Chain A
Amino acid sequence: MPAARFQGTLEQVDETCFRIPRSYMPGMRVEGLIYADERLIEEVKSGQAPQQVANVAYLPGIQMASLAMPDIHWGYGFCIGGVCATDPEQDGVISPGGVGYDINCGVRLVRTGLAESEVTGRLKGLVDELFRSIPTGVGRTGKYSFSHQELKRMMSEGVSFLRGRGLATDDDVEFTEARGCIEDAEPECVSERALERGTRQCGTVGSGNHFVEVQVVDEVVDEAAAAAFGLKRGMVCVLIHSGSRGLGYQVCDDALRALRDTPARYGVELPDRQLVCAPIKGPEGRQYLGSMRSAANFAFCNRQLIMWQTREVFERFFGRSWQQLEMELVYDIAHNIAKFEEHLIEGRRKRVCVHRKGATRAFPPGHPELPARYRPVGQPVMIPGDMGRASWVLAGAPGSMLKTFGTTCHGAGRAMSRTASVKAARGRRIDRELLEAGIIARARSHRGLAEEQPAAYKDVDLVVDVVHKAGLSTKVARMRPIGVIKG
């Protein structure tokens, strides 16, 4: 179903922001604000994502505005790139559609002490070894298996659970968002079926847009922040993108099913049934929050185990320990999550539930939740682009606290549907094209590569320009891909 063009009002606020006024639809409790510039807004208007921004403004308890980041595109209920904060003291709701199916999908960046020149000649071997050792794609199970009891402990304790098993270090915990554990997870709220799907999937990448990518720091824009993050030009890094796998999808599926009739029961009228939601303080809301946080902690552990396997591959391949190779975690961040945070709203400090669906936390310098090492420069934000062009490392900036509940963008955003990408790739070998551009790509299926080809995505540089100019997060370093494994 080709989405129709958005016909509503979009007023330009400034160079990087457009407004959907409350008058657009009678049920909007707040206005909608989309961060984009003139280059990006035309594409945004070509679909129904702005309508979704307006729909979210119906949610009870929503604060300030229904927001969208410049990588906005259509999603289920909420658009991808959507941000919304709700106040539990004002009958605020939690909505599974504001988090997404892949709960705590996110990215993690690992730096190494290796220079590009030490890897170039041996890159093919390294990528092949990563592809052999780290499970990617559908139906591939990992080398780790956890009983339901162990999974419940993992979901309650987060990455610290793995530290207890010798699969994570103190620093790995320290440099993960929320120290790798969202508090108040309630594994008892997670269904048996979800546990069943999670048993063999912790430590697996999955497919779709998930990957493990070997990158080189191509350009440093902010020397001080880059130094704090331990990054310098020419350095080899690894970027990991994955989430909570089947366990998280099932938690979302269970919640959507359980909440089918909840809005009507509370007298909440919604313009789209995929915005199903429940009051944060009610039993249905608490149930979802307990299971969502559990899935989020599972996802932190999943990325931790993918990183652990990456370290093992590098150890075998280079014949040195990962500590000698200086494979330290720079940071791990979620981009599909709902979290309680304190924000200054209309002059009052409030504890609100911030939904980020395809959007990344970007706390500015000085924020108390940041590791001491990053407090002077702001939180690292990793923005994966496509596998042919670039990714970015940004630092959280003060504008995010003023404008977007401490949030910035999460990626490039798709420009082409999967079927259109496959059509556009017909008769081509995307892996060979990438090879000509100096990038070694390994995927389980040619179709997967065709669907994820660089042209299927918007140019990440344009997206990053907007959040930089808007003061939500600032450019630190541009990363160039040299090898990638996918599903």
Chain B
Amino acid sequence: MFEFFGHTADLGLRVTAPDLESLLAEAARGLLAMLVDNPQQVQVTSTVEVKISGQDPVYLLFDFLSELLVIFDTRHLLLADFEVEVSGDGLHARARGEQLDPARHRLAHEVKAITYHGLKVEKTDDGWLAELIVDI
């Protein structure tokens, strides 16, 4: 589950999930919902593989979302569906989506970057919680 929260000039994302892998996948869906107003319209016709090395869940989240942002910015790929595995080497994700089509996808925000401000990933009593703020 994810929700947005306000932060002066920018936008925050709060994510909860039962485990770390679904937390990362859910955060990626949250990012998509920041980019387009109608994420449900994104079809899954192409696949990209994303690998992030590291152990710290905070930096895994940061680097994963930053990578998705670069893929969107350079290749105009909207990614909507994620299978995420976290192992000792880091994160491996299979992300599916399609090329941006302005006729069907209503673009919402240009996300400049994921920021370190208030960035957190933590275990809670009933799963995992992440919060982050993006620069608009």
Residues in chain A within 8 A of chain B (CB atoms): 1, 3, 47, 73-76, 80, 101-102, 137-140, 193, 196-197, 199, 206-209, 246, 249-250, 252-253, 256, 273-274, 414, 417-420, 444-445, 447-448, 487
Contacts and interface: CB of A to CB of B under 8 A. Distances in A.
A208 B11 CA distance: 11
Interface centre among A80, A138, A274 (most CB of B within 10 A): A138
Interface string B67-111: 000101110100000000000000000000000101000111110
B9 A80 contact: yes
The 8 closest A-B pairs by CB, nearest first: A419-B6, A417-B6, A207-B110, A138-B107, A138-B110, A249-B112, A246-B73, A101-B112
Given A139-B100, A253-B66, A445-B106, A419 B4 contact: yes
Contact of A418 (B74, B116, B136): B136
Contacts of B117: 76, 274
A444 B37 CA distance: 12
A259 to B, nearest CB: 11
B113 A249 contact: yes
A444 B102 CA distance: 10
B105 to A, nearest CB: 9
A408 B6 CA distance: 28
Given A101-B135, A139-B102, A445 B108 contact: yes
A183 B45 CA distance: 46
A272 to B, nearest CB: 9
Nearest to B66: A253
B74 A196 contact: yes
Interface string B101-136: 010001111101101111000000000000100011
A206 B135 CA distance: 13
9 contacts: A206-B110, A207-B109, A256-B116, A417-B8, A418-B6, A419-B4, A419-B6, A445-B107, A487-B110
A102 B112 contact: yes
Nearest to B101: A139
A446 to B, nearest CB: 9
Nearest to A194: B70
B42 interface: no
Contact of A139 (B4, B12, B66, B72): B72
Nearest to A413: B9
A273 B116 contact: yes
Contact of B10 (A138, A273, A418): A418
Contacts of A73: 8-9
A197 B74 contact: yes
Contact of A1 (B4, B12, B113): B12
B23 to A, nearest CB: 19
A206 B115 CA distance: 19
A3 B112 CA distance: 22
Contacts of B72: 139
A419 B8 contact: no
Contacts of B35: 138
Given A196-B74, A418-B136, A447-B37, A137 B110 contact: yes
Given A1-B12, A208-B112, A256-B116, 11 more contacts: A1-B5, A75-B9, A209-B9, A249-B112, A418-B9, A418-B11, A419-B4, A420-B6, A444-B107, A445-B37, A448-B108
Contacts of A76: 115-117, 135
